[in-house]
Amino acid sequence: MLLSAHEMNTLLPVMDRVVYLADGRAAAGTTAQVIRTDVLSDLYGHPVEVLHVNGRILVVAGDADPGATHHDHSASGPGVHIG
């Protein structure tokens, strides 16, 4: 099944694979590989926190650092494709 959604927090517990898209790039893999602070922060180019609370996963966007001009695109984990 393929599903497109903007609000992913409620769907994460029932998904086994995800593709996140941002600015012409994508992060694809299992939810454990992609739904991580380092992977999503790299993809979006600003802080994203992945929180594990009471057995749930919450993805929360942080404030962008106005002084940041460089993004390290090497943070993807094993099995995660960002490109």
CB 67 within 8 A of CB 80: no
Q: Whole-number mean pLDDT of the chain?
A: 79
More confident residue, 58 or 75: 58
Confidence of residue 75 (pLDDT cuts 50, 70, 90): very low
CA distances from 77 to 21, 24, 34 (A): 17, 20, 8
Q: What is the pLDDT of residues 29-59, one digit of tens each?
A: 999 999 999 999 999 999 999 999 998 888 8
pLDDT score recorded for residue 82 = 63
Between CA 30 and CA 50 the distance in angstroms is 15
Is 74 a residue whose pLDDT tops 70?
A: no
Question: Can you tell me whether residue 52 is helix, strand or coil?
Answer: strand
Task: Give residue for tokens 């966007």.
Answer: 61
Which amino acid type is present at position 64?
A: A
Instruction: Average the pLDDT over 12-20 and give the result.
Output: 88
Chain centroid offset of residue 39 CA: 6
